[in-house]
Amino acid sequence: MKETILETKGLIKYFYNPSKFQVIKNVDLKIQQGEFVSIVGKSGCGKSTLLYLLSTMDTDYEGQLFIHNQLITGQSDQNLAKIRNEKIGFVFQFHYLLPEYNVLNNVMLPGLKLGKYSKKELEQRALKHLKTLEIDQHALKMPNQLSGGEKQRVAIARALINDPLIIMGDEPTGNLDRKSGDVVFDIFKKLATEFNQTILIVTHDPDFAHKTDRIITMEDGKIIS
Amino acid sequence: MNYKLILDIAIHLLRARLKQTIVAAVGVTFSIAMFISLVSFMSGLNGLLDGLMLNRTPHIRMFNEVKPSDNQPLSLSKDYKGNTVFIHSIKPKDRGKSIYNSMSIISALKQDKRIIDVAPKVTASVLYNSGTIEISGMVNGIDVLAENTLFKISDYIKEGKLSDLFQNNSIIIGKGLSDKMLLSVGDIIKVSTSNGTLSSLKIVGISETGIADIDNMASYTSLATAQKIVGQPKNYITDIQVNLYKKENAVAIAHEFHTVYDVDTIDYLAANVQFETGSSVRSIISYAVGIVLLIVAGFGIYNILNMMIYEKMDSIAILKATGFSGSDVKWIFISLSIIIGVTGGVFGLIFGFIFSSIIDVIPFSSPSVPSVTTYPIDYNGSYYVIGLVFALFTTLISGFFPAMKASRVDPVEIIRGK
């Protein structure tokens, strides 16, 4: 039997600005270990909002959220940060690399925060991830010397550094051209098949979604399939 | 919390904005340097001015004051005991200027461990005679060695030597007197007292204190000569001057001596109230200026950190997304301001010391303080400690609010906004 990585029970979220509006309507969701899931839907259907609820960064919701069967709802800011650090890897539409650090250090940063491995070990692990993503030759460059696709791959390496339970992506290929987008998708695919990595991606690109294992379609704040 | 990592991130952020950081730190440096040099200079000046008066005032002076007797004959009467009595037209009682039993008091005081030295003194008001002119003045009969250890009067002797007073019938007169009466070292001066005795004394020196009232009236001679002028025996002493190792205790000890030896005492504080006031006002001014400068520097730091936060919103958002908590982010920005404060403050101390040293070599001479040739500076370590504490305090305060703001940044808002 496969482990449940992520589970929600009756998730509800309101937006209050400009007027009270229900964005997420009673969402129940289960994601198993090793699944490659995509969430699709029209813009404004609440898919990104759902992702940020699942990411633990947005805590203003009703219902319950479990990660690895542990109740997340209501935990302190400090604990949530720790959970994000340890169990979740993020890839956003924008790469969000720190311009002051080189590629290697950017990848190592969440690992240094976790403090599980020594700096030497982290360096080795970071280089290994960069090698899997075929950008190890850029390890000592600064982020502004890389192309968009390369930056996004560095961001994926950063998401992988702490061996997260799940990688969450918000339109990770949205800013990339077709070719780089395909490269990034292939990387996700490879992570899912070869390393059995659980991945949850929000996208509005149907081609991208169709290549994933499971598609969750949302409409008007509800999961319809 | 991983302090090393937080510090590392803070330093990287600083490097990215090196120019602004330096400007902020220079603000702190400038204000601390000004604070240090200002306070050192002011305090040096305070020391100089206080020294002008306090160095010539004994910590405790014992004397007989002319005043009405506390016990009037009527209070001895049994008939009026318990009654309230009114006595009119009381006159002060003259107990004589001489301190009763002075020799045993002096020998007792010399045993006292709290006391640096005891200088007995005979003062007598006299008339200096020059031809037909009479100038009123004061002769101070001093114990030459003790007087010099307590008050360094040899500093004020312009001509001749203090030790020449050991000769019989010798006198050192004030500069004003010598100018008025056209007397110089080696001349003879005639001195008459109120009871009519006339003595001729040989001038062995000229003194100049810079205070006209003293230079125009006072002269110094040995104890024995002074006693001879006033026609009194060897145990005639009008003042006993005492300096303490801890002058702060002067008030208490003065009171103690008053009860133990039954003489009137006055401590240096009571004798020079106005100087204390002046000193404290001057210190308040210099501290106020220093604090104002630091507050201005604090605003600079506040501005720069605020700007940095707006610039680094993305970085803050991703740090939070990847597992840095609000308090981690807060500490990153607080360490930023501490780094600015400490480096700025330490350089401020160094420059403060340099500025003080420059002021210290600027020539400055005053006839009243012959030992001083340059502007006075008080190199007190405590000012440097206060300066650094001030610097840290203001940078912490000015860094705290931006840091709180950074810790409250909502990563979702930033990331979704893109």
CA–CA separation, A102 and B155 (whole Å): 70
Q: What's the confidence (pLDDT) of residue A1?
A: 54
Q: Give the mean pLDDT of B66-84.
A: 81
Task: Report chain A residues touching chain B, CB-CB < 8 A.
Answer: 48, 52, 55, 57-58, 77-78, 80-82, 84-86, 90, 92-94, 96-101, 109-110, 112-115, 158, 162, 170
SS3 content of chain A, % helix, strand, coil (to 5): 40, 25, 35
Neighboring chain B residues of A96 at a CB cutoff of 8 Å: 314-315, 317-318, 321, 415
Closest CA to B146 of B160, B173, B165, B169: B165
CA–CA separation, B300 and B333 (whole Å): 15
Where residue B38 falls among pLDDT bands split at 50, 70, 90?
confident
Neighboring chain A residues of B317 at a CB cutoff of 8 Å: 96
Q: What's the confidence (pLDDT) of residue B368?
A: 66
Which residues partner with B265 through β-bridges? B62
Q: What's the confidence (pLDDT) of residue A115?
A: 85
Is the residue at A9 inside a domain? no
Our CA-based measurement puts residue A165 at a distance from the nearest CA of chain B, in whole angstroms, of: 14
Q: Give the mean pLDDT of B8-14.
A: 88
Q: What's the confidence (pLDDT) of residue A198?
A: 92
Q: What's the confidence (pLDDT) of residue B95?
A: 67
Is the residue at A28 inside a domain? no
- How many CB atoms within 10 Å of residue A207? 12
- Look at A110-114, A199-203, B180-184, B297-301 and tell me which has the smallest mean pLDDT: B297-301
Q: Give the mean pLDDT of B201-216.
A: 86
More confident residue, B91 or A83: A83
What are the structure tokens assigned to B162, written together? 């203090």
CB contact under 8 A, A90 and B322: yes
Is the residue at A15 inside a domain? no
Q: What's the confidence (pLDDT) of residue B1?
A: 59
Q: What's the confidence (pLDDT) of residue A168?
A: 92
Closest CA to A89 of A32, A33, A12, A156: A156
Identify the helix (H) or strand (E) that includes residue A12.
strand A4-15
Is the residue at A137 inside a domain? yes
Is the residue at A8 inside a domain? no
Question: How large is the C-alpha radius of gyration of chain A?
Answer: 17
Which CATH number is A204's domain given? Answer: 3.40.50.300
Our CA-based measurement puts residue B301 at a distance from the nearest CA of chain A, in whole angstroms, of: 21
Cα A53 to Cα A37, A213, B414, distances in angstroms: 16, 22, 15
Residue B114: pLDDT above 90?
no
- Look at A192-196, B97-101, B206-210, B365-369 and tell me which has the smallest mean pLDDT: B365-369
User: DSSP letter at A2?
Assistant: P
CB contact under 8 A, B327 and A112: no
Is the residue at A188 inside a domain? yes
Residue B352: pLDDT above 90?
yes
Largest CA distance in chain A: 52
Neighboring chain B residues of A97 at a CB cutoff of 8 Å: 318
* Residues above pLDDT 70, as percent of chain B: 98
Chain B residue whose CA is closest to A92: B415
Number of domains in chain A: 1
> What pLDDT, in 10s, does the model give residues A43-94?
888 888 899 899 888 888 899 999 988 999 888 888 999 999 999 999 988 8
More confident residue, B288 or B82: B288
CB contact under 8 A, B2 and A115: yes
CA–CA separation, B239 and B196 (whole Å): 23
Query: pLDDT averaged over chain B?
Result: 86
E strands, B55-149, are 60-63, 115-130, 133-142
Closest CA to B207 of B156, B141, B135, B150: B156
Residue A76, judged by CB atoms within 10 A of its CB (0-12, 13-18, 19+), counts as: exposed
A85 closest CB neighbour out of B13, B322, B416: B322
Is the residue at A63 inside a domain? no
First to last CA, chain A: 23
Where residue B297 falls among pLDDT bands split at 50, 70, 90?
confident
Q: What's the confidence (pLDDT) of residue B45?
A: 84
Chain A residue whose CA is closest to B323: A85
pLDDT by 10-residue block (mean), chain A, 225 residues: 84 88 89 91 87 89 90 89 91 88 91 88 91 88 90 91 91 86 88 90 88 90 85
More confident residue, B394 or B417: B394
Q: Which residue range forms the structural domain that includes residue A90?
A: 35-47+76-223
Is the residue at A52 inside a domain? no
